[in-house]
Chains A and B, each alone.
Chain A
Amino acid sequence: MNRILAALLALGIAPLHAESAPDPSDWDVVLETAKGQTVYWNAWGGSVITNEFIAWVAERVSEDFGVTLEHVKLSDTADAVTRVVAEKAAGKDEGGAVDLIWINGANFAAMKENDLLFGPWVNDLPNWQYVDVHGKTVQTDFTVPTDGLEAPWSMAQVVFMYDAEKLPAPPTNMQDILDLVRDNPGRFTFPQPPDFLGATFLKQALYDLADDPAPLLKPVQDADYDSVTAPLWAYLDELTPLLWRQGLAYPQSGPQQIQLLADKEIDLAISFSPGEASAAIENFELPDTFRTFVLEKGTIGNASFVAVPYNANAKSGAMVVANFLMSPEAQARAQDPKYLGVGTILDMDKLDESDRALFDDIDLGVATLTPEELGTALPEPHPSWMTRIQDDWTERFGVGRE
C-alpha cells in the first residue's frame, strides 16, 4: 500500500509536459507557441456584463490567435491565489491550473512577495506602446511597483451612484454623506469588507476625513496608525447605526448593492467604475433617473491588472490574451457602457486616427461623468492599510454588534 502511495505521489510531482518559460521579447515565437493552447483565466464571475466581455475576448483570441480562453469564474480572487499557493506547497511547479488572474492590490502584493508570478513580461507586449504610462497609474498597483509582472487592462475610479429624483443635490464630501444619511436613515450602505469595494469605501472615507493623507502612501508600519485612522472610526461609529438594516447586515458585493438600488432599498451607493451606472441603465438593472458624482477632494483611482502565475501551464497563451486586452479594439469595447463601461488604459495621442475614432464614437451614457468632471484620481493607499483597516473594521463592526 505504501509503495503504491509513493508511486502516486511521485507521479503527481513529476512535471507534465508543460512549456518551458517563453521569452516575451520574441513575440513571433510566443504567438506560435500560443496557438492551440488553452488559457484558464481566473476572474471574478459575479458580474454578468464582465462575464460577457470575457466571453467576447475568448471569441476574439480564438479567431485571431487560435488560443482557447476559458473563464474560471471566481467568487473571490483570493481563491486563485490560494490555488497557486497550494500548488507550490504541493511541489507542483509546472503545469499549474491557473494561467491568468485578474488581480489587484493585496493579492498582487502577496503573490509578488512570495515569488508566485511569472515575468517580467509586460513591457515586451506589442500593444504596450499605446498605454498611457505617464497619465495613469499603470505601473504601480496600490503603490507597489508592478515591475512588469502584471499587465493593466482597465482603469477604475470611485464614483457614487444616486437617484437624482430623490436627491436633487448630491453630496460633495463624506461629512455631507453623513448629514444626508442622518436625514434619511437606512437609505445607504456599502458592501461588507473584506469585499474589495467595501474596503475601498473605508479607504475613500479615510482619505476624505484624514487631516493629512500623506502617510497612506507608505506602509502602515511607518505611520501612527491610531491617530491617522481615529477620524475614520469616529465617523463610522456615528454612521453605522444609520446604515441600511442599522448596519447589522451588508450587501456582499457591488452588484448586490446595485440590486438594492433597483429595489429602492437604498438611494446612494459607491462604485469603482465611472460607467457602471450607465451600463446598469442600459441593462434594465437601474431606472434611468440614476446619475453619478465624485467628492470635491477627489476619489481613489486604480488600474485592473492581469498576471501570470510562475507555474502557469499556458504562459504564451496568457501573454497573447493580455496583449489583446490592451488592443484599441478591446479597450474601446470595454469603455462602451453597452458592453462594460470601464476606463481605458490607452493614451489617445498615441493611437492612429482610425483607432481613436473607435473611442470617439462611444456614447458614454446619461449617468457617466466626463473625464474633466471625474478630476484627477487619488492614488491607492499602500496595500498594508487595506489589510489593517479591514481587520479592524471586522473586529469593530463585522462580528456581532448588539
Chain B
Amino acid sequence: MNNRILRLLPGATLLAMLGPVVAGLIGVLLPAFGWMPALGMTQLTTDAFADLFAWPGLARASYLSVFVGLAATLFALTVVVMVCACWQGTRAFNWLERVLSPLLSLPHATAAFALAFLIAPSGWIVRLVSPWITGWDSPPDVLVLNDPMGLSLTLGLIVKEIPFLILMTLAALNQINAGPTIRAARSMGYSRHIAWLKLIFPRVYMQIRLPVYVVLAYSMTVVDVATILGPTTPPTLSVQILDWLSDPTLMRHSIAAAGAVWQLGLVAGVLFTWRASERIVASLGTRWIEKGTRGRDSGSLRMLAFALGGGSAFIIGLGLAVLTIWSFAGLWTFPDALPQKFTFKNWERHLPALRDTATETLQIAACASLISLTLSIGCLEAEHRFNLRMRRYSWWLLYIPLIVPQVSFLPGLQMLFLQLGATSGTKAVICAHIVFVLPYVFLSLGDPFRNWDERFATVGASLGHGPDTTLWRLRLPMLLRPILTATAVGFAVSIGQYLPTLLTGGGRVTTLTTEAVALASGSDRRAIGAYGLALTASAMLPFALATLLPRAMWRNRRGLAHG
C-alpha cells in the first residue's frame, strides 16, 4: 500500500464521517435563522423560532423527547447492569448472551412492528386468552399503543437497546479481566452482585459511556420507532419536525429547521445533565464502596434480573412469530388466536417487489460496508505503521455522527445534495449511510486489529517480508473473523437506516426499511409481516455468514477460525 495514501487516510475518513454532519448542521442552522438566498431571504431573523414556540404542542413534544430518552436509557442500562452483576461468568449468562446478540441485528422498525402486533388491545397476547378467559368478544378500548405518555415507545426502545448495551458491556468486560477481581472480592465476603457493582461497574462504565450517550441521543430523537409506537396527539418532536418538512408551504420548512435546532439543544442539554449526574453518582458511589458493605446474595434479585433480560428477548421472539403468522394469514379477525385460513397468496403478491427491494437494500449495504471497511482497515494500518495513538478526543469524533440527532442535520444535508446536483439518489444514500456505518465498523474492528499478536509480523519480517505482505498475507487473513463480523455489523446498520435513506434518496430509493415504514402508514399486517421478515433475514444473514465462513475456510487451520 502506498505510504502517502495511507498517511492521508485517517484525515479522509474523518472528512467522510464528519463532513456531512457539519455541512448538514450548517444547512439547518441557516434556514432556521431565515437565511435562504435561493428564495430571496437574506436577512437573519428569529421568526422561525417565534413560529416554533407558538406551536401549541411544543412543550408536550419536547417533554416526550426528554422523558422517553431518559426512561428508555435508564431502564435499559439498569437491566444490563443487573444482568451482568447477578449472572456474569455463569452458564446462564453465556446463554443469555447468545440469545440477545442476534437481536442486535434486528432493525428497529421490525422490532417495533413486532411489539405493536403483540401488545395492542386486539393483539396476539389478548387474542390468546380471549374470549375463554377474558370473556371479550371485541377488544377492550384501552390505550396501549400510541399512548400520550410514550410508554409503549419507551418499552420498544428498551427491548431494542438492551442487546446493544449488553454487547458493549461484554466488550468492555473482556478488557478488564473481571474474573479474578470478583473471585478475590468473593473471598473477602462480598456477595456476587455487590462485588460486581463496587469493583467492576465503575471501570466498565468508563468504557461504555459513549455507547450510553448514543442510546440516550437516539432514544430522544428516533423517528421510525416513534411513528409506529409513539403518541400522535402530539407526536414526539422529531416526528413533528419530519411532518413540517413534508409540508408544501416553505414557511413550514423554516419551522422544521428551527425545530431541528431546538431538538439539538434538548439533546445537548440532556447529555450535559447526564454527564453532571455521573459525577454525583460517582461521589455517592465512592462513599458507598468505602463503607465496605458486603451485601447478601439474593435469589429473587437474580431471578428478576434474568426475567428482565430474558423477557426482552422473549418479547421480540414472540413478536417475530406473530409477524410470520400474519404473512401467511387469510381472514384473521378478533378474537381468533390463529387465522381462519392460511394462504401463500400474500407471499405470492409481495415476493416480486420484495426481491427487487431486497436487492437494492443489499447493494447499498454492501457498498456502504465495504467502503467503511476499507477506510477502517486503512486507518488502523496507518495508526499502526506511523504509530499514531487514538486519544480520548478521537473517540469522541467517532461517536459524533451517532450522538448528533439525525433529524438535526439530515434535512440540511438533503438540501446540500440537491444543490450539488446529485440526482442519482443511490449514491447520495450510500454517502449518507457511510456516516453511520463507518463508526460502527471501525469500533467493532478496532480492538481485534490492535490486539493482533505483533510477533507474527516479526517472524514475517525476519523472513524478508515488508509491511504490505504482512498486512495482506498475515494480519488480514488471521483477522478474517473479526473483519467479517465488522462487515456484518455494517450491513445491519445500513439496512436499518430509515431517515438517511428517506431524506437523501429523495423518495426514489426504496429499501426494505423505508418500504416497511411506508406500509405501516397503511397498516396491512400481511404486507408488514412479509416485509418485516425479509428485513430481519437480510440483517441476520451476514451475521450467519460471518460465523460460518471462517469455520469453512479454515477447516484445516483450527487456530485461525477463532480469529
Contact = CB atoms under 8 A, between A and B. Distances in A.
A90 B250 CA distance: 13
A14 B421 CA distance: 8
Most interface-central of A70, A83, A246, A401 (chain B CB within 10 A):
A83
Given A75-B517, A78-B247, A89-B38, A264 B233 contact: no
Interface string A30-41: 000000000010
Contacts of A86: 414-415, 418
Contacts of A245: 141-143
A400 B233 contact: yes
A248 interface: yes
Interface in A232-272: 244-246, 248-253, 255-256, 258-260, 262-265
A48 B139 contact: no
A255 B523 contact: yes
A331 to B, nearest CB: 23
Given A91-B38, A248-B148, A85 B518 contact: no
B521 A46 contact: yes
Contact of B334 (A12, A95, A264): A264
B522 A398 contact: no
Interface in B91-130: 120-122
Contact of A400 (B36, B57, B248): B57
A358 interface: no
B309 interface: no
Contacts, number: 187
Interface in A183-218: 185-187, 192
A73 interface: yes
Interface stretch (B265-273, B390-398, B430-438, B503-511): B503-511
Nearest to B57: A399
Contact of B232 (A42, A107, A252, A258): A252
Contacts of A125: none
Q: Which of B145, B253, B418: most chain A CB closer than 10 A? A: B418
Interface of B (DSSP majority class): loop
B383 interface: no
A101 to B, nearest CB: 11
Contacts of A111: 248
A185 B138 CA distance: 13
Contacts of B524: 47-48, 255, 259, 285
B147 A264 contact: no
B79 to A, nearest CB: 27
Contacts of A13: 421
Interface string B127-171: 000000000011101110111100000000000000000000000
A72 B38 contact: no
A103 to B, nearest CB: 10
A16 B424 CA distance: 12
Interface string B19-35: 00000000000000000
B247 A75 contact: no
B423 interface: yes
B46 to A, nearest CB: 21
Contacts of A398: 57, 233-234
A16 B423 contact: yes
B276 interface: no
B121 A83 contact: no
B552 interface: no
Interface in A46-80: 46-48, 51-52, 55, 70, 72-76, 78-80
A263 B525 CA distance: 11
Interface string B471-508: 00000000000000000000000000000000000111
Nearest to A42: B507
Contacts of A259: 523-525
Nearest to A395: B56
A85 B418 CA distance: 11
Contacts of B232: 192, 249-250, 252
Given A8-B420, A90-B419, A256-B523, A399 B233 contact: yes
Contact of A263 (B139, B245, B415, B508): B139
B143 A249 contact: yes
Nearest to A166: B138
Contacts of B331: 284-285, 287
Max chain A CB contacts within 10 Å: which of B39, B233, B522, B527? B522
Interface in A298-330: none
Contacts of A263: 120, 122, 139, 333-334
Nearest to A76: B246
A186 B143 CA distance: 11
Contacts of A75: 517-518, 521
Contacts of B353: 51, 55
Given A85-B248, A90-B418, A48 B233 contact: no
Contact of B506 (A51, A97, A248): A97
A14 B121 CA distance: 56
A37 to B, nearest CB: 15
B446 interface: no
B138 to A, nearest CB: 4
A397 interface: yes
Contact of A249 (B146, B250, B335): B146
A359 to B, nearest CB: 25
B506 A12 contact: no
A11 interface: yes
Contacts of B39: 89
A155 interface: no
Contacts of A244: 141
Given A73-B510, A89-B39, 5 more contacts: A12-B422, A45-B519, A106-B248, A249-B146, A263-B139
Interface of A: 8-9, 11-14, 16, 40, 42, 45-48, 51-52, 55, 70, 72-76, 78-83, 85-87, 89-92, 95, 97, 106-107, 110-111, 185-187, 192, 244-246, 248-253, 255-256, 258-260, 262-265, 284-285, 287, 394-395, 397-401
22 contacts: A16-B423, A45-B522, A55-B353, A72-B507, A72-B508, A87-B418, A89-B38, A89-B250, A90-B415, A192-B233, A248-B148, A248-B233, A249-B147, A250-B233, A258-B523, A263-B333, A264-B138, A284-B330, A284-B331, A285-B524, A398-B57, A399-B60
